[in-house]
């Protein structure tokens, strides 16, 4: 069975600072993908970044980077130079690459960015 754990219900950061949102996972699949999503108050789910389990380098997308530590089964999201618009709920997700494996989510972390 697969499991995603986000242990930080809420995080607070000031503008221009970096912040790390934690995510750990558990799976028996040898090959899997890890995702991060942002959900602002409007409710839409915005895809941020993807990391494949066999990718040698950590994924980066603009100010977002994924700190992937396979041995520790962690996939933390790092947001550099936080902006007020980054205030939202953030979800970590995982899907095994075997056919028929579903995309599952953690419980989310609410990020609040202050000026």
Partner 1 sequence: SQTIHQWPATLVQPVGSPLSLECTVEGTSNPNLYWYRQAAGRGLQLLFYSVGIGQISSEVPQNLSASRPQDRQFILSSKKLLLSDSGFYLCAWDDEAEAFFGQGTRLTVV
What is the contact surface with partner 1 in residues (CB under 8 A)?
A: 33, 35, 37, 43-45, 47, 50, 52, 89, 91, 93, 95, 99-100, 102-108, 110
CA–CA separation, 81 and 86 (whole Å) = 10
Toward partner 1, which CB reaches closer, 17 or 44?
Answer: 44
> Minimum Å distance from CB 71 to partner 1?
22
> Minimum Å distance from CB 59 to partner 1?
10
Toward partner 1, which CB reaches closer, 28 or 115?
Answer: 28
Which of 67-102 are b and which e, b meaning 16 or more Cβ less than 10 Å from the residue's Cβ?
bbeeeebbbbbbbeebeeebbbbbbbbbbbeeeebe
Toward partner 1, which CB reaches closer, 19 or 48?
Answer: 48
CA–CA separation, 27 and 86 (whole Å) = 29
């Amino acid at each position: 069975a697969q499991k995603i754990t986000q242990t930080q219900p809420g995080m607070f950061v000031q503008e221009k600072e970096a912040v790390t949102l934690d995510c750990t996972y558990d799976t028996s699949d040898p090959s899997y993908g890890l995702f991060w999503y942002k959900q602002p108050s409007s409710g839409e789910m915005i895809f941020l970044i993807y990391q494949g389990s066999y990718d040698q380098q950590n994924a980066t997308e603009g100010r977002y980077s994924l700190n992937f530590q396979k041995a520790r089964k962690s996939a933390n999201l790092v947001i550099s130079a936080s902006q007020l618009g980054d205030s939202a709920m953030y979800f970590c997700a995982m899907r095994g690459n075997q056919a028929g494996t579903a995309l599952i989510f953690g419980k989310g972390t609410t990020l609040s960015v202050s000026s």
